[in-house]
């Protein structure tokens, strides 16, 4: 099974025969057999050359780059082969049709809320917080514009965050969501996790005929692949949040795994490795699919959402958003 590789250390990546190697600053090398590489995520300062890039491009391998603090900077992706003008036109038409756009945007919010409530019930938080979210969902179908829908989504997530201090143990506290910049360990982990979720969704979109810049819940704009943000809404509470809860509550990550600089807090290299190891393990976990009647990994569930969206755009089958049943 192919998997993503995460390069934390500084060094270089070079090609030799049919294998690519990562060399650290001391000259130690690690082989990355091309057949086993899905994507490469580069967190350290890594030197590359065109020989290596041309080689991995033949296999459709994407390179995701992250800054010093571990947050997404950009992606190199090879020339896209899986393209369809018809699908692009249909995707655009769905965006321009307000009824269609609202249907899809509401689907993403409903799925996110389903997985949020699933987490809250699992950890047995106060029922009042759960009821507040259910109240927001009760009138969700009556919403007639995207701005109002985004307001509801924001209130759902705000109530969800109120439950974090009932879920988390071992001295980790959550006061409020702070993104730019994150100022405490919980915000640092949420931002780091959301960033890696975003790039993984982008990778799966790239493997389909979807255009990542045409979105429905988040407003399409320049300089971002906003469809990745839409689809990531489904998977953040399903994948990222449980990873954070597990790492904290099982003491696999502690406050020594973070670095503080003035008003900024971010994961150390050791903290990043712990988080990414947990993330990759989660993405390779398989679940028996009810319709396909076979085991499907969490990563494949993302791809399947993309395929379902394509079927909706071309009017083959109405989109039914993923809601975890397991």
Write out pLDDT tens, residues 115-172.
999 999 999 999 999 999 999 999 999 999 999 999 999 999 999 999 999 999 988 8
User: Residue 34 has what pLDDT?
Assistant: 81
Question: Which residue spans of the chain are classified as CATH 3.100.10.20?
Answer: 3-76
**247: enclosing H helix or E strand:** helix 241-249
Taking only the tens place, the pLDDT of each residue in 260-300 is: 988 899 999 999 999 999 999 999 999 999 888 899 999 99
d(CA 288, CA 273) in angstroms, rounded, equals 29
Binding residues for Mn(2+): 153, 218, 233
Taking only the tens place, the pLDDT of each residue in 81-101 is: 778 899 999 999 999 999 999
Binding residues: 153, 218, 233
d(CA 256, CA 261) in angstroms, rounded, equals 14
Q: For domain 85-313, give the CATH superfamily.
A: CRISPR-associated endonuclease Cas1, C-terminal domain (1.20.120.920)
Which of 169, 183, 192 shows the shortest CA–CA distance to 247?
A: 169
Tokens of 191: 């931002």
Which of 42, 59, 41 shows the shortest CA–CA distance to 4?
A: 41
Q: Are strands 37-42 and 295-297 parallel, antiparallel or unpaired?
A: unpaired
Instruction: Please return the burial class of 312, using the count of CB atoms within 10 Å of its CB with bins 0-12, 13-18 and 19+.
Output: buried
Fold of 3-76: Ribosomal Protein L15; Chain: K; domain 2 (3.100.10)
Beta strands in 198-308 (DSSP E): 258-261, 264-267, 286-288, 295-297
Question: Which residue spans of the chain are classified as CATH 1.20.120.920?
Answer: 85-313
């Amino acid at each position: 099974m192919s998997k993503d590789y995460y390069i934390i250390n500084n060094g270089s990546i070079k090609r030799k025969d049919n294998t690519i190697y990562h060399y650290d600053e001391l000259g130690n090398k690690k082989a990355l057999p091309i057949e086993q590489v899905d994507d490469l995520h580069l967190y350290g300062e890594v030197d590359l050359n065109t020989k290596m890039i041309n080689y991995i491009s033949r296999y459709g391998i994407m390179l995701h780059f992250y800054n010093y603090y571990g947050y997404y900077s950009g992606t190199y992706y090879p020339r896209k082969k899986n393209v369809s003008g018809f699908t692009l036109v249909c995707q655009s038409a769905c965006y321009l049709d307000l009824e269609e756009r609202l249907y899809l945007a509401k689907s993403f919010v409903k799925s996110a809320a389903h997985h949020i409530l699933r987490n809250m019930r699992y950890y047995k938080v106060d029922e009042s917080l759960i009821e507040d979210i259910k109240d927001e969902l009760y009138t969700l179908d009556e919403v007639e514009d995207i701005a109002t829908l985004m307001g509801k989504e924001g209130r759902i997530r705000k109530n969800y965050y109120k439950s974090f201090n009932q879920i988390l143990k071992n001295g980790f506290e959550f006061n409020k969501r702070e993104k730019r910049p994150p100022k405490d360990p919980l915000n640092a982990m949420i931002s780091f996790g959301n960033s890696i979720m975003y790039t993984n969704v982008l990778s799966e979109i790239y493997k389909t005929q979807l255009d990542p810049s045409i979105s429905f819940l988040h407003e399409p704009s320049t300089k971002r692949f906003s469809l990745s943000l839409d689809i990531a809404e489904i998977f953040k509470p399903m994948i990222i949040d449980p990873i954070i809860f597990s790492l904290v509550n099982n003491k696999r990550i502690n406050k020594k795994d973070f670095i503080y600089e003035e008003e900024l807090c971010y994961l150390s290299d050791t903290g990043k490795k712990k988080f990414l190891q947990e993330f990759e393990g989660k993405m390779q976990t398989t679940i028996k699919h009810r319709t396909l009647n076979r085991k499907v990994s969490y990563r494949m569930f993302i791809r399947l959402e993309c395929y379902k969206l394509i079927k909706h755009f071309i009017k083959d089958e109405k989109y039914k958003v993923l809601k975890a049943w397991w």
